[in-house]
A and B are shown apart, each in its own frame.
Chain A
Amino acid sequence: KQEVTQIPAALSVPEGENLVLNCSFTDSAIYNLQWFRQDPGKGLTSLLLIQSSQREQTSGRLNASLDKSSGRSTLYIAASQPGDSATYLCAVRHSGRSQGNLIFGKGTKLSVKP
């Protein structure tokens, strides 16, 4: 059974720092991996989607990498800003029969201090 783990559960950094959020998964047979952002009391906003054949994706100050063989993905945020404060979730989609379902990690709560 696929399990997704995000460490750390919470992270506090000063404004301007570059930071890395980690996501690990137990089954490397994935179809894709998606990073989301969630603000308190809100829905999830898709940040980056990495297909299983890709190694990384970039959007603005965000860069996500994928290493299927080691079961890891990282989300790199450059020059962090207070507006980046949110919970970041990663989710993997299995490549098998249950292709419809995403398995989520519990998220990393990021706080960027001005």
Chain B
Amino acid sequence: DGGITQSPKYLFRKEGQNVTLSCEQNLNHDAMYWYRQDPGQGLRLIYYSQIVNDFQKGDIAEGYSVSREKKESFPLTVTSAQKNPTAFYLCASGDRPNTGELFFGEGSRLTVL
């Protein structure tokens, strides 16, 4: 089936540790995105990539890093520099330059202990 796969679904991290969230898509989309969702705040953009080997910072990129070595994959690393990392993380891919429609994965919930 075509879609976006995020893993792990749940992740627990101790303070000071880096963690990497995986996002893989088989929709043949060029554009991929990472959003963070907090209760009452809506979705906020962390990073996005419109093509392989290129990515741009979003509104809240501090404390995060990404790579885009393959079209299908856009992993997000939450570093120890991220002061409040506990959140629900959502990966998406976009049907650009066609309709521009965005499709989302099931999300990864990160909890810092």
Instruction: List chain A positions with a Cβ less than 8 A from chain B.
Output: 31-32, 34, 36, 41-46, 49, 51, 89, 91, 93, 99-102, 104-107
**B100 touching A49, Cβ below 8 Å:** yes
Would A34 and B41 count as touching, CB distance under 8 A?
A: no
Inter-chain contact A101/B45, CB cutoff 8 Å = yes
In this complex, the interface size class of chain B, counting residues with CB under 8 Å from chain A, is 20 to 34
Q: Is the CB of A100 within 8 A of B101?
A: no
Report which residue of B43, B48, B96, B105 has the largest number of chain A beta carbons within 10 angstroms of its beta carbon.
Answer: B43
Known A49-B101, A100-B31; judge A43-B106 contact (CB<8 A): yes
A45 and B31 contact, CB distance less than 8 A: no
30 A-B Cβ contacts within 8 A?
Answer: A31-B100, A32-B99, A32-B100, A32-B101, A34-B102, A41-B88, A41-B107, A41-B109, A42-B107, A43-B6, A43-B90, A43-B104, A43-B105, A46-B101, A46-B104, A49-B99, A49-B100, A49-B101, A51-B99, A89-B42, A91-B43, A93-B100, A99-B100, A100-B56, A101-B33, A101-B58, A102-B43, A104-B42, A106-B41, A106-B42
> How many Å lie between the Cα of A102 and that of B42 in the bound state?
12
Per-position binary interface string of chain B over residues 16-33, scored 1 when its CB falls under 8 Å from any chain A CB and 0 otherwise:
000000000000000101
Complex contacts, B88 vs chain A, CB 8 Å = 41
- Whether A101 lies near B41 (C-beta < 8 A) is no
Cβ-defined contact, B99 with A44, below 8 A: no
Complex contacts, A36 vs chain B, CB 8 Å: 104
Is B2 on the interface with A (CB-CB < 8 A)? Answer: no
Please list the 7 inter-chain residue pairs (A to B) with the smallest Cβ-Cβ separation, ordered nearest first.
A44-B104, A43-B104, A106-B42, A104-B43, A43-B106, A49-B101, A43-B107
